[in-house]
Amino acid sequence: MRVLLFLAFLVVPVLEIWVLIQVGSVIGGWTTVALLIADSLLGAWLVRREGRRAWRALQEALQSGRMPDRELADGGLILVGGALLLTPGFLTDIAGFACVLPFTRPLMRRLGAWFFDRRVRRLAASSPYAGMFADPFQGRAEPDGQVVHGEVIRDDQDTPITGQVIPRDPNR
């Protein structure tokens, strides 16, 4: 993972500079700068608009009492997309628009969920505590019936309630 991050921080700026040079050689330097400024302004406006919508949806989900998982993911994607849109470069702008635009955000949400699910499973498998919380029933639907003698004492009553747990018949 560290190697991938190192390569990303090394390769992405080099690619961005290369794309800027290529676009600048085709449409001109000042036009490229104007396009980058316009792109950033459009991105800032879009992040502000979609951020308000995501905030409103988050508040509605919380007020209705349901878990706001989709709304929180959308808010995170808008935050990441806004950071990418404010970074100068066309490649980061493409990725930023993919995170911010409402019709591409569900695809990015699924991609992020797939990535994090894969990452969590890999970390859990490599954990030294992986087998520590094994299923005590070992795949059975219910535990074996054992007789446990005991006495239950209630605070609201003076007399104890006595009883025993009767084992289940395995032939049933």
Q: What pLDDT, in 10s, does the model give residues 75-132?
A: 999 999 999 998 889 999 999 999 999 999 999 999 999 998 998 888 888 877 766 6
**Closest to 74 in 3D by CA, of 42, 52, 45:** 52
Written as one string, the DSSP assignment of 72-86 is HHHHHHHHHHHHHHH
Q: Are 70 and 76 in contact (CB under 8 A)?
A: no
Q: How far is CA 18 from CA 12, 89, 161, in A?
A: 10, 10, 81
Tell me the pTM. Answer: 0.67
Question: Which residues, at least 6 apart from 77, have a Cβ–Cβ distance to it below 8 Å?
Answer: 99, 100, 105, 108, 109, 112
Which residue type, as a one-letter code, is found at position 119? R
Distance CA 79, CA 85 (A): 10
Predicted confidence (pLDDT) at residue 60 exceeds the cutoff of 80: yes
Task: Round the average pLDDT of the chain to a whole number and report it.
Answer: 83
Between CA 37 and CA 27 the distance in angstroms is: 15
DSSP assignment, residue 164?
Answer: E
